[in-house]
Amino acid sequence: QVQLVESGGGLVQAGGSLRLSCAASERTFRSYAMGWFRQAPGKEREFVAAITWSGGITYYTNSVQGRFTISRDNAKNTQYLQMNSLKPEDTALYYCAAGGAGNIYSSRRYDYWGQGTQVTVSS
């Protein structure tokens, strides 16, 4: 059972930056693709970014392309989401996820989830 713990959320002004981290409890993390999802109040959970197990390929939703960067350090069992040029519409609870097979953009692929970290962007 992989446990995921997010950190790094907070309150920031529009145009600012935050770096989210997600620490995994086991080395098996290294064999999984990793993703970030977010859920704003009253909205469904949506895909933000993902990265393959090797870190060689990354995926982004259109609204964050060019502003967010996903990365991972398999030696530290940790993945990251660097968020720059933040906008009020980025405000949401951000979840880290790990999964083995399926559509990398779909939440159904991911078997393990963190509890989430809140990101609030003020205008």
Chain segment 52-66, per-residue pLDDT in tens: 988 889 999 999 999
Chain segment 18-29, per-residue pLDDT in tens: 999 999 998 778
* pLDDT band at residue 105 using 50, 70 and 90 as cut-offs: very high
Among the listed residues 97, 98, 112, 118, the one whose alpha carbon sits nearest the alpha carbon of residue 40: 118
Please say whether the beta carbons of 35 and 102 come within 8 A: no
Identify the bridge partners of residue 68 per DSSP, sorted by sequence position: 83
What is the predicted pLDDT for the residue at 120?
98
Contacts 24+ apart (CB under 8 A), 110-117: 110/35, 111/2, 112/1, 112/2, 112/3, 112/4, 112/32, 113/4, 114/4, 114/5, 114/6, 114/22, 115/5, 115/6, 116/6, 116/39, 117/6, 117/7, 117/8, 117/9, 117/20, 117/93
What is the predicted pLDDT for the residue at 37?
98
Chain segment 85-102, per-residue pLDDT in tens: 999 999 999 999 998 778
